A and B are shown apart, each in its own frame.
Chain A
Amino acid sequence: MSWIVTNIWLIPAVPLAFSLLILFLSSSRRAAAAGAAIIGQIIALGFSILAFLPTLQAPGFRAVQSFTWFTFGDQALRLGWVLDPLAAAMLIMITLVGLCIFVFSVGYMAGDKNFTRFFAYLSFFSGAMLGVVIANSLLLLFVSWELVGLASYLLIGFWIDRPSAAAAAKKAFITTRIGDLGFFLGMLWLYHTSGTLLFYDNGNGALEPSGLLKIGSSATLVALLIFCGAVGKSGQFPLHVWLPDAMEGPTPVSALIHAATMVAAGVFLVARVYPLFSLGAVNGVTPSLMVVISIGVVTALMASLIALAQFDIKRILAYSTVSQLGLMMVSLGVGGVAAGIMHLLAHGFFKALLFLGAGSVIHGLHHEQDIRKMGGLRWIMPVTFLTYTIGMMNLSGVPFFFSGGWTKEEILHRTAEWPLSRLPHYLMLAGVILTALYMTRQMIYVFFGRKRETSDAHESPRVMTMPLIILAVCSIILAIVLTPAWPWLHAYLNGEPARLDFGALIQPMLFLSLLLVAAGIGLAWLMYRNAGETDPLARAQPGLFRFLGQKMWIDEFYEHTFIAFSRVVAHLSDFLDRYFWDGLVNLFSGMGQAFAVLSKGFDDHAINARVDNTTAGARRFGRLIAARHSGQIQAYLGAIAIGMLLLLVLYAWLA
């Protein structure tokens, strides 16, 4: 066994270490920062490839390392790393896409004054994401997951002096945290029922038969709670609102986080804990998987529809990401785990390609993002145009040469085979048309037609176009291992040997989807080729267009319901705190004071008054007596004489 298998933790550790290093560099050492980040990423890529090789040797390879994080009471909390085909494939995708994006960023962020910090954040993000992928413990996954969230927060809000960026970062963090609460509870529940958080632990892990036996009937709720986390992170309805806003971040960030890797973490999570979802499945259907499908379908269609009415080049891509993630969720829901992950991997490449292409366009147009102001860039930015077209073909699902086409095909197959209903299948077919439609619309707006306000546009420098080319090539090469004729990746992920079978290429489904894609592209060509100032859809259906353009007013809905409600509750609590609870305390102390006033009154008017009256009487009497003391000696003498006389009389009377 290769040393990297036993030291798999090095893969996330290297970018994290480099990130720390860059953070402490002075902000003037730009070249060093970018170099360090890229070297870190290259090392991680190298390690990932090394780790990938052993997984090829035997189907269903799985290596697990566990260690004790800490002991509390008399029990140990164990974490671990796992290397299996799922992890290995993700490692390669993340490091490779990451590397391209790092290189691209050198060009894209060239003028930014916080250049070094940007690369520190990027490296940090990359490390955290790699940690998510190889975590063998739900807790470790959660830890990395939260760190990914933090990195995303930092990167979305990277242009911190823009209030909109800060607001978007906050929104992203809070929205994903709502989902994470569910994830957290699900994790606690899983820990409680199975007694361990390790996925695989030589037969004692939570995802292994003995663990699943312990979880038993609570699996549905545990799975759904964990799914909440995936909904938040992967931008699924109803927590998708943060993802389009996250486009406030620099474009490489959008490519890395909000297209290729982080948002895929939710899909990955579901795939990772899939045994929980499928536990007790009848015909491959469980209540939790039904929920996954429903959410996925709603998200996929809703996002595609909204994408039709957007004018921001990055937002269109953002909604297409949301929609593709929905598609992956549907795939997982109908049981096509491998298909979902294949689409995830392929999507990672071509969506990064598209975002970087968009970044190249934005860079070439001096940070213009409105597609209505673009046009005719085909000749001005040829490399960008070509690579973008490849990305668009992938996304639209054109098969044969494009990986995205094959994986989409695979998912459609899976949905068709779902035993319960064909509805998801038909809805996904509709999604295929919509995807082709909005992507072609975007292409036409940006690269075709006449030039609008793009007179001083220029092609991006080599450092930015090279990653585009690499990603485009990757997305085409990947198609080779994805064809039904030789479904190597599918077999690899499922832990089976791959067989060569050209007969599998001939399928009615293939032609159907080809037809649908062609229909979508053709329709878009007809609709948008001669589009004037206003969008054709807006002309035909202004109400609908407005509805979609405003993102179905979901943000406004949340703003006026949940957020407004919590705000009211917050102010109410504040009010209660100040005036009710504190009021009770004041009432109590007021009662004490009132009692004090009363007893003072009693003292003053009842007790003191009596004493005062008595003493006043004594004093008055004293004054009366004192008045007799005239100081006249003869008066005293007279008194004595009278006294003696009286005594005499008394004597005479008594005798």
Chain B
Amino acid sequence: MAGLITTLIVTPLVGALLVSATRNYARALALVFNLITIICAFIIWRNFDPGLPGLQLVERHSWLPAIGAEYLFGIDGLCLLLVVLTSLVFPFALLAQKMDRSFCALMLITQAALYGTFTAHNFVLWFLFYEMSLVPAFLLIKMWGGENRDRAATKFFLYTFLGSVAMLLSFLGIYFARGTFDFISLAELGKTGDVLPGKLKWLAFAGIFLGLAVKVPLFPFHTWLPDAYEAAPTGVSMVLTGALSKMGVYGFIRLLLPLFPNEIATLGPWLLTLTVCSIVIPPLVAWAQSDLKRMVAYLSINHLGYCMLGLFAATAPAVRPLEEMHAALSGVVMQMFNHGITAAALFYFVGLLEQRRGSRGIDDFGGLMQRTPLLCGWMSVVMFSSLGLPGLNGFIGEFLIFKGSFAIAAGYTAVAVLGLLFTAVVFMRAMQSLFSGPLTRACSTFLDLSSHEKWAIIPVTLLMFAIGIAPQFLFNIFNTTVVHMARLLA
């Protein structure tokens, strides 16, 4: 079926237009459009043949031939998984709070930008969508955020934008030297190793690395994240962590790793050290936080650190058995999806607590289990999923990442495992402080989950169980892609 991907991208944009024109029922309308995109994503999934390695459902038209820009959309297993994730996170985020029409419209624009980012395969087109997501996200934080929203939004925008500019410059350099913006041709260039001559190659590498490392974010480029996530309203935090943070990891997989295999191998130990820092330090910082949202934000850095560990372990060291690369890369892709759902759900619950209490300090709550057992129960499920308890989704990705990374880079992985412990410490502290002990007076009038909150959270939690117990259906989507990717990177 032709034009499916275009439909997928255009639908939220049309939705944004219509939503901004309505007076009432903006959120309901936005949710209807989300339903349409879910159906769209589902049709794409049905039309996608998981057995083929390359791009599928390609839409290719001439666009701006003078600058090598092409209208090129396509889907492989990784793209499809992220499209599905985006389709799931956005309705969930919209359900998290009642907001007016401009909020919903901006959310829909962000959604369209994400679909574009995950399906475009020409740099110009990709970059267009990549940057397009930034503007509505900035506005959403700036207009509906909490305390310090101006500073946080500006920092978020400028920091990531600066990184993007560095990346753009690098790609322009590559374009002027090699004359292509096409991802596949770029990857082939990377394989031969002559993307750019001499020192320029390092400069381009640095630019792209900076842009993506800020976006992921990788320690120590992460300081915009806690501020932005803390200031953003619940739904926006969910989207930021559930979907937007995947853009950085996706960029690493799609751009940096294929383009600069030799540079990554040369810098391997440093990159792995950075990822280990990303894994071990943020949960420690999270331990020292008293704000729940900030705490979850730091843990989000830690979880994306696992992704980066898998990626760099699969590309940096000299000896890399193919099957271990498969494990690490499968784990990374799995972890991207799982972190998307779990972190979004965590922010959702923090949002629920904030709605009820009016604040979100970890010491503002106590003894909730006695008053709101359902809320505590489901929230515990999400927390256990996040700390990687087997039987829930988080474990699968982490296990595979650690399996692959340990076989390739044992020392780094052994240190990174500490992240699992610290995450557990953070969540245990949170659970102890929130759920147990005597019921504090401020919480004694809390309502348990309302029926529509249940409708939002139960499907997501069931999905967590499903992935944790029988994850094959997700692996089917991206197995061939991962094998193909590993062969390219080997």
Contact = CB atoms under 8 A, between A and B. Distances in A.
Tell whether any CB of A sits under 8 Å from a CB of B in the complex: yes
B429 interface: yes
Contacts of B224: 585
Interface stretch (A142-150, A458-466, A503-511): A142-150
Contacts of A160: 367, 369-370, 435-437
B7 interface: no
Contacts of B437: 160-163, 166
Contacts of B421: 174, 177-178, 181
B417 interface: yes
A423 interface: no
A47 to B, nearest CB: 21
A185 B406 contact: yes
B326 A72 contact: yes
A146 B389 contact: yes
B284 A74 contact: no
Contact of B436 (A69, A157, A191, A577): A157
Contacts of A585: 155, 159, 223-224
Contact of A574 (B159, B289, B325): B289
B436 A573 contact: no
Contacts of A188: 402-403, 406-407, 413
Contacts of A589: 155, 158
Interface in B100-128: none
Interface in B405-421: 406-407, 410, 413-414, 417-418, 420-421
A147 B391 CA distance: 8
A124 to B, nearest CB: 11
B285 A72 contact: no
Nearest to B323: A75
Interface string A155-171: 00100111101110110
B391 A73 contact: no
B390 A142 contact: yes
B447 to A, nearest CB: 18
A349 interface: no
A173 B285 contact: no
Given A74-B483, A146-B390, A584 B436 contact: no
A161 B438 contact: yes
Contacts of A311: none
Task: Label chain B's interface by main secondary structure.
Answer: helix
A377 B421 CA distance: 45
Contact of A173 (B396, B418, B428, B475): B428
Nearest to A181: B417
Contact of B389 (A72, A150, A573): A150
A11 B369 CA distance: 31
A585 B228 CA distance: 14
B288 interface: yes
A73 B418 contact: no
Contacts of A147: 389-391
A559 interface: no
Interface in A543-576: 566-567, 569-571, 573-574
Contacts of A143: 390-391, 395
A72 B400 contact: yes
B161 interface: no
Interface size for chain A: under 10, 10 to 19, 20 to 34, or 35 or more residues?
35 or more
Given A71-B479, A72-B482, A188-B403, A571 B223 contact: no
Nearest to B419: A181
B390 A573 contact: no
B45 to A, nearest CB: 18
A61 interface: no
Contacts of B86: none
Interface string A522-537: 0000000000000000
Nearest to A173: B428
A170 B432 contact: yes
Given A74-B326, A191-B403, A174 B285 contact: no
B285 A184 contact: no
A570 B436 contact: no
Interface in A389-432: none
A163 B437 CA distance: 5
Nearest to B224: A585
B479 A72 contact: yes
Contact of A184 (B219, B330, B402, B472): B402
B424 A161 contact: no
A612 interface: no
B220 interface: yes
Contacts of B155: 585, 589
B471 interface: yes
B283 to A, nearest CB: 9
A447 interface: no
Contacts of A73: 323, 325-327, 329-330, 479, 482-483, 486
Residue among A71, A73, A169, A192 with the most chain B CB within 10 A? A73
B287 interface: yes
Nearest to A166: B436
Contact of A581 (B223, B428, B436): B223
A189 B406 contact: yes
A653 interface: no
Given A174-B425, A188-B403, A188-B406, 11 more contacts: A147-B389, A160-B367, A161-B369, A161-B436, A170-B429, A170-B431, A185-B417, A189-B410, A574-B288, A582-B223, A585-B223
17 contacts: A70-B470, A71-B475, A73-B329, A73-B483, A73-B486, A74-B479, A75-B326, A147-B391, A174-B421, A174-B424, A177-B420, A181-B421, A185-B414, A191-B403, A569-B284, A570-B288, A574-B289
Interface of A: 69-75, 139, 142-143, 146-147, 150, 157, 160-163, 165-167, 169-170, 173-174, 177-178, 181, 184-185, 188-189, 191-192, 566-567, 569-571, 573-574, 577, 581-582, 584-585, 589
Q: Lowest 8 A-B CB distances belong to which pairs?
A: A73-B326, A166-B436, A143-B390, A574-B288, A72-B330, A582-B223, A188-B406, A192-B407
